Amino acid sequence: MKVMNFVSNIAMPLIILLIVIYGLKEKNKVFDTFLEGAKEGLEITLSIFPTLIGLFVAIGALRSSGILDIIIHFLTPILNVIHFPSELMPLAMLRPISGSSSIAVATDIMKNYGVDSSLGIMASTIMGSTETTIYTIAVYTSCIKIKKTRWILAAALTADLVGMLASVAICRFMS
């Protein structure tokens, strides 16, 4: 437990430290370079802002209208079989499809059940350890006009499922 926390906490500062030292060692103008990158970050974030507004409203409406509770209620008995919390189901379903809508759902889960609660940590782990699988496959196969994809979607989605179950398991183990 302590080791896990230590590794988690040291990872980011250590990487930043190493990169800055490396940049200095190779005699780069590190701060000017940093500014270039940071400026680009501004454009990236602003470009996803409209998507986030649209999706936050849609996900917020799903929750406040009460329909999400009904969906969760119906899913609970099925999901209990594999010990998967039904509150995380909307995230599990949207994660492979769309990056920005999974950001919206994950934020919604963390906000409603507590960001440091076990559901909040599970949602964070799922977000950090899985990708927008369907989107990625679509982009990579369509760029070279491949028709026969040899069940790659099934393989990738199976792995996503394993990742989600593993997220839940490790967060249970940690708490």
Binders of another protein among residues 127 to 166 (CB under 8 A) are 127-131, 133-137, 139-141, 143-152, 154-156, 158-160, 162-163, 166
Q: Is 82 in the site for another protein (CB under 8 A)?
A: no
What residues contact residue 114 under an 8 Å CB cut-off, 6+ apart? 120
Could you give the 3-state DSSP secondary structure of residue 83?
A: coil
Written as one letter, the residue type at 33 is T
Query: Which string of x and - marks every residue 18-57 that binds another protein (by CB under 8 A)?
Result: -xx-xx--x-x-x--xxxxxxxxxx-xxx-xx-xxxxxxx
| Lookup: tokens for 60 | 């917020």
Q: Is 64 in the site for another protein (CB under 8 A)?
A: yes
Q: Is 21 exposed, middle or buried (0-12, 13-18, 19+ CB in 10 A)?
A: exposed
Q: Is 83 in the site for another protein (CB under 8 A)?
A: no
Footprint on residues 86-105 left by another protein (CB under 8 A)? 94, 97-98, 100-101, 103-104
Name which of 5 and 80 has its Cβ closer to another protein. 5
Nearest to 63 by CA among 26, 104, 28, 114: 104
